[in-house]
Copies of this chain bind each other. A is one copy, B any other.
């Protein structure tokens, strides 16, 4: 049953050093505020799962929180590289990180299978790709009915998932609207889940088939206005595309990056 916590307390209570963490949001609704709180609390040795690491994991990796990243597309969308991810992979700064790399289809199916309580996802995938040669978690099975060879990957079942959403009602039921990505799957697949929301309302005012995650399927709800910036929240504020472009220069240089983290993350209170 969802408990209303401050962002500080939610992260302190549920994100442990060494945990496997999925902070999801497909371009939309990326839980940046929660990511910054993880950095402020100096969490260590996290295994970070996201289809698109995006700036949020670039920041967590550069801040030294990660020991491993599981992903399927690691760029700054429309801009270029994630320089902190590259620096960690290529040069081991600030620490060596392992990577485990999938395709989007496989990760999406693995989240779906995790939500569905299954140990594996089956897909027609990786045909002719060399990814299976560098990821030993990709296997192949034979369909018992047709004999077709299909890919199998382990389902994703994080220790904790963190997502951002538009709003929660007073029972902690959460409405997610717009590009819903794999957020619902991430929450349902995880042992524990934290949802940050723009606001609490009396009534979600949702249509019959809206993407609503019931409060009893969530552990903590924290109100964080603008909690997805520089990503966006459909119906609340647009994506800060300019910042995504500016990030390229910030992240290229270790010192510039470190100063940025100090000034914009470490020196900020969670509600700033």
Q: CA of A146 to CA of B150 in the docked complex: distance in angstroms? A: 17
Whether A120 lies near B143 (C-beta < 8 A) is yes
Q: How many residues of A contact B (CB 8 A)?
A: 27
Interface residue? A236 (CB, 8 A):
no
A118 to B141, CA, bound (A): 13
User: Are B150 and A145 in contact, with the CB atoms below 8 A?
Assistant: no
B119 in contact with A145 (CB, 8 Å)? yes
Interface check A128, CB cutoff 8 A: no
Report the Cα distance A150→B180, complex, angstroms. Answer: 29
Partner of A209, one of B144, B150, B154, B178: B178
Task: Specify the main secondary structure of chain A where it touches its partner.
Answer: loop
Q: Given A120-B122, A124-B117, A124-B118, do A209 and B177 touch, yes or no (CB 8 Å)?
A: yes
Asked if B209 and A118 sit within 8 Å, CB to CB, the answer is: no
Bound CA span A209–B29, Å: 15
Q: Which residues of B contact A5 (CB under 8 A)?
A: none
B-binding residues in A (CB < 8 A): 117-120, 122-124, 137, 139, 141, 143-146, 148, 150, 152, 154, 177-178, 180, 207-211, 234
Given contacts A118-B124, A120-B145, A141-B144, 4 further A-B contacts (CB under 8 A): A119-B148, A120-B122, A120-B144, A207-B207
